[in-house]
Amino acid sequence: MITYEWSDWRNGTFWWIQSVYVMPAARRTGVFRALFQHLEALAEGDRSVCGIRLYVERENERAQATYRRCGLDDGGYRVMEVDYSGAVQPALGRTMLEKGRKAPEFDLPDQDGRRHTLKSLLADGPLILYFYPADFTPGCTKEACSFRDLHQALLKAKLRVVGVSPQDVDSHRRFAEKHGLNFPLLADPDKAVVKAYDLDGPLGFGVRRGTYLIGRDGKIQDSVLADLRIGAHEAFVRNAIESGASK
């Protein structure tokens, strides 16, 4: 992304690095550094460029350390936004797995290293299975904490919630400990389960934010797809609680 800044002390364009995602197997191999150095060389050859920017979550200290090693530093700005959490946002015209079909089976470890299958998770009742892009990001943190705070209501409705994302067990453990999460986070580093539930990101990058309600019989009862609308997922879970899903 390119923006133009006009002020009393500098005028020119800024090049933004946006939505950086490195596949787990390629992390800590210099992928981001190579990307940044290539972009930096191009920017240095263009006299209209004032600088290079990116945004990073305040809590993502590991990413910040990487960016500082590349020469980036805090620009002194805070990102302000309006969160339109009301409506569901369609994602590139794609849909999720249809209602009534059998949910794909899986076997994944949680943040404590315990393995879970779909069958085992359904043993005590219906399951809310939600997929999210990454630990520690603002949206994913907000979503996880909203489900944490609904824990007692979920128990009363005989529902359980489980999250799935590509981060590894260690990342999930740190994320759960930091925010006191009281439900399993399953590690799917090769995105096999993400793909089985039709939630792989565009061109294979990232993960779409989707939530499924799966009945005790293993069939999909309902779903919601809303990549940017965190509130839509909380509303979906609240509706499941109020409906008292019990199949």
Active site residue ranges: 140
Q: How far apart are CA 57 and CA 63, in angstroms?
A: 9
Number of H helices, E strands in the chain: 8, 10
- Select from 107, 103, 112 the least CA-distant residue to 183: 112
Amino acid at position 148, single letter: R
Sheet holding 127-131, edge to edge: 185-187, 160-165, 127-131, 210-214, 220-225
What is the torsion angle, in degrees rounded to the nearest 10, for the CA atoms of residue 24, residue 53, residue 83 and residue 153? 30
**Tokens at 212, concatenated:** 């499924």
- Select from 69, 184, 57 the least CA-distant residue to 118: 184
Q: Which string of b and e fits 58-67 if b means at least 16 CB within 10 Å?
A: ebbeebbebb
Q: How far apart are CA 244 and CA 221, in angstroms?
A: 12
DSSP string, 89-130: PPBTTB--SPTTSBPPP-EEE-TTS-EEEHHHHTTTS-EEEE
